[in-house]
Each structure stands twice: as structure tokens, then as C-alpha cells.
């Protein structure tokens, strides 16, 4: 692992080739990192090297290319273990992203375990990926889906959570950080309260892993999931962390190659953990690229990097709050990574299109959180979200762009 000098934003930005381009003749201002993060050159080089040098399937051959690819692929699991402080690599399942991880837990844990009268707790601010799988579980098991409301600040209070928690609660599934509003949920307290009533806890860490420190042993969560592409790695990759005893008891999610021990016409036995949940040929280059992203992060001063990210977000909320024609949606006491807003008289889609003409990339729409949009009685917002490469100067560019939007719609 290479150690860099102290965190220096200009040097960091030079490692992201996408930032060197111009959009409509203006320097790119990329404020859509919550949708997907840009990739550092180290990750791009890692993926290219797999296809250029080690293009082979894993776990299936004795030739040199396969052995090299296998070693690189399997080695990533230890990097993930260190990132999450998991007890063992057996607790880490490669998946295509947070969505697949939640669906895996729904199919292999919730469906076999829950019964009519049991309750699944989610919150009103969840991503659709943390709603729809539980609605499917409800239909298959007869369990009840209970939703914890958010307040006017876009916050999930412990009082509201306690009010919905009961002895019937068997599973709690909540976001670490809201992708739409940036709200940071009190997951440590939520996990403890859920365990007090005997419930298991799933944490959607798609945004949390990027901006917050995560220690799954200290949190004592039962499941934690994240996507590689939001953590500066390739798309189509992700991790499901689950306690080993739970994975041992859960049936396979899919059947196929590599998840088996022995197949006969009469019976099949399963491979050991975590391979029992990893059927078929995976995205080998993607996983190796994810490992490169994690090692790239390890080489940074993570404390300084997080401080920089939080400073940019705080500055953005301050600058947007100074604009009389802008309304920030969600003002939780603790936020991370993103800020959602409305511009008076302009639909969010128009805001996004005009900002794009100024080289500024933001997300517009419901952010896959339609129940949350319904809670605030709005169809959509514009969202600026930040990464390790974001700067205050980019926030200033956003403000200038919004002033141009205002002139058009005044």
C-alpha cells in the first residue's frame, strides 16, 4: 500500500481524468457523486490491466492467467474486511451492488424466516431498493411493512423509531445516509433498540460507506451493504456483509457454478462461505477495480478527506441558504454527502438542463425516493452531491449557475 503526503485537493483532483474535460465549453463541475463517483486513474489502470494481462476465469483453471486473476480477485476480500472491520472474510459476499445485496437478504433470510404477523421496519426516506424488496417479502410471507415517518427536517428521530418498534418487529432495514437529502441516521442507536426486541438489522450503506466511518463489529449490525461505484470503484460491484452464523443458516440465493461443493443427479451440496452465495462468473475486473479503489482510499489521510468533504457540504448548504429563490429540502441536524433543493418557479428538470449548459452536473428527479417526495408534497428536487474531489470553488460555480437559472425564470 502506497502512502501519500497529507491530503491536498489539487493533487487529488489530478488523479481523476474525467475532471480534465470541458462540457459545453466550460470546465466540468461534477456534483452527482451520490449517483456514481468518478474513478481515479489507479482504478481505471487496474481494470485495464485485468483485460490486458490477466483475462481469465477464476477458481476454474490451473494455468497462469487464471491463477493470477484468482489471486487478485480473492485478495480484494481482505481489503474489504479491513475497510469494514469485519471479523472474517467469510462474512463478505461479492454482489452487483447494494440493490442485489438487499434482495439477497430478502430472498434468503426474510422469506424463509418471517411469518404472518411479523413486522419489517423501514423509514420514509429509503431508496426504492430498500422498499420494494420488502414489499415483495410482504406479499410472499404475510409479514407487515411498517414505515417510520420523517419529520419536517427530513430526520428520523429515535422517538419516531421507538413508536413503531415492537415485539412483532423481526427485521429493521434502514439507510445509513439518505441518498436524497443527505440525512445521517442514528444507526448505532437504531441497531441497539432493534436488538433489544430481538430483531435483525440491515443497513443500506451505499452512501454511508463513502462519507462516514464504518465498523461493523462496533455497530453490531447483522447486515451491511454497499456499492462499489459510489466508492470510486467500477459499476456492477458491491459487498454484502453479514454475520457468519446468519450466512451459514441462509439458503443459497442463486444456483450455478462456483457456489456448489458436489453435484449429483440426486443432490447438490453447497460450497463454503462466502462462495455459497456467489454463483456464476462474476465481474472479475470490476471486483479487482473495487479493490484498487479501496487501496487507493487506504493510502489517503481518511480523516482529512472526510473533513474536506464535510467542509464542502457545509459550505454548499450555507451558500444555497443565502439565495432567496432557493429552498433546501431537508435540514437534518447531521447531513453527509448531498443537499437537495428547489428553485422558485423552475422545475428541477429545467434547473438541471440549464446547469448542464454551464458545465455543471447535478441530479434531478425523485432520486428513487418517491415516498419521501410524497412526504414533502413535491414531485422532485435538484440535488448536488459531493465526492473527495469536490471543492468550494465548484459550489461557487453552482451558485452562479443557479443565479442564471433564476434570471431565466424570474
φ, ψ dihedrals at 384, nearest 5°: -105, 125
If residue 392 lies in a helix (H) or strand (E), which one and from where to where? helix 392-409
Closest CA relative to residue 59, chosen from 78, 73, 49, 40: 73
Strands (E), 4-136: 22-23, 26-27, 29-30, 92-95, 119-123
Do the beta carbons of residue 368 and residue 130 sit within 8 Å? no
Contacts of 361 (CB under 8 A, 6+ apart): 23, 28, 29, 30, 31, 32, 355
Contacts of 149 (CB under 8 A, 6+ apart): 123, 124, 160, 375
Interior/surface letters 51-61, b for 16+ CB within 10 angstroms, e for the rest: eeebebbbbee
Contacts of 97 (CB under 8 A, 6+ apart): 206, 227, 228, 229, 235, 236, 237, 238
- The three-state secondary structure class of 250 is coil
List helix spans (H) across 54-174: 64-84, 98-105, 111-113, 132-141, 158-164
The residue annotated as part of the active site, out of 368, 392, 396, 399, is: 368
If residue 211 lies in a helix (H) or strand (E), which one and from where to where? helix 208-211
Question: Could you give the CA distance from residue 137 to residue 162 in angstroms, rounded to a whole number?
Answer: 23
Is 368 a residue of the active site?
Answer: yes
φ, ψ dihedrals at 378, nearest 5°: -135, 150
Question: Could you give the CA distance from residue 205 to residue 219 in angstroms, rounded to a whole number?
Answer: 12
Cell reading at 35 = 449517483
Q: In what order do the strands lie in the sheet with 223-227?
A: 92-95, 238-242, 223-227, 200-204, 169-175, 119-123, 144-148
Catalytic residues: 368
Amino acid at each position: 500500500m502506497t502512502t501519500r503526503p497529507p491530503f491536498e485537493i489539487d493533487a487529488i483532483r489530478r488523479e481523476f481524468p474525467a475532471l480534465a474535460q470541458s462540457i459545453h465549453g466550460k470546465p466540468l463541475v461534477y456534483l452527482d457523486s451520490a449517483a456514481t463517483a468518478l474513478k481515479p486513474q489507479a482504478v481505471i489502470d487496474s481494470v485495464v490491466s485485468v483485460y490486458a494481462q490477466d483475462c481469465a476465469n477464476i477458481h476454474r483453471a490451473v494455468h497462469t492467467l487464471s491463477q493470477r486473476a484468482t489471486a487478485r480477485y480473492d485478495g480484494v476480500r481482505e481489503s474489504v474486511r479491513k475497510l469494514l472491520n469485519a471479523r472474517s472474510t467469510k462474512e463478505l459476499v461479492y454482489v452487483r451492488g447494494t440493490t442485489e445485496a438487499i434482495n439477497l437478504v430478502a430472498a434468503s433470510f426474510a422469506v424463509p424466516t418471517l411469518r404472518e404477523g411479523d413486522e419489517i421496519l423501514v423509514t420514509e426516506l429509503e431508496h426504492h431498493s430498500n422498499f420494494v424488496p420488502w414489499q415483495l417479502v410482504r406479499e410472499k410471507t404475510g409479514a407487515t411493512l411498517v414505515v417510520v415517518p420523517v419529520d419536517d427536517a427530513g430526520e428520523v428521530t429515535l422517538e419516531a423509531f421507538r413508536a413503531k418498534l415492537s415485539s412483532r418487529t423481526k427485521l429493521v432495514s434502514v439507510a445509513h445516509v439518505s441518498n436524497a437529502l443527505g440525512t445521517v441516521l442514528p444507526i448505532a442507536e437504531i441497531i441497539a433498540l432493534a436488538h433489544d426486541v430481538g430483531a435483525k438489522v440491515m443497513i443500506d450503506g451505499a452512501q454511508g460507506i463513502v462519507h462516514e466511518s464504518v465498523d461493523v463489529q462496533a455497530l453490531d449490525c447483522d447486515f451491511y451493504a454497499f456499492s462499489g461505484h459510489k466508492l470510486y470503484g467500477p459499476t456492477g460491484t458491491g459487498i454484502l456483509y453479514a454475520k457468519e452464523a446468519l450466512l451459514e443458516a441462509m439458503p443459497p440465493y442463486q444456483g450455478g457454478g462456483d457456489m456448489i461443493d458436489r453435484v449429483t443427479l440426486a443432490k447438490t451440496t453447497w460450497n463454503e462461505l462466502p462462495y455459497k452465495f456467489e454463483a456464476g462468473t462474476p465481474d472479475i475486473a470490476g471486483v479487482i477495480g473495487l479493490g484498487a479503489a479501496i487501496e487507493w482510499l487506504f493510502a489517503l489521510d481518511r480523516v482529512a478527506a472526510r473533513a474536506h468533504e464535510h467542509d464542502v457540504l457545509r459550505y454548499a448548504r450555507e451558500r444555497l441558504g443565502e439565495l432567496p429563490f432557493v429552498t433546501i429540502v431537508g435540514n437534518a441536524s447531521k447531513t453527509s454527502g448531498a443537499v437537495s433543493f428547489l428553485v422558485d418557479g423552475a422545475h428541477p428538470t429545467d434547473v438541471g438542463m440549464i446547469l448542464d449548459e454551464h458545465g455543471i452536473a447535478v441530479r434531478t428527479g425523485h432520486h428513487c425516493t418517491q415516498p419521501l417526495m410524497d412526504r414533502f408534497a413535491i414531485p422532485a428536487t435538484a440535488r448536488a452531491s459531493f465526492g473527495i474531489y469536490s471543492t468550494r470553488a465548484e459550489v461557487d460555480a453552482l451558485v452562479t449557475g443557479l443565479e442564471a437559472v433564476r434570471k431565466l425564470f424570474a
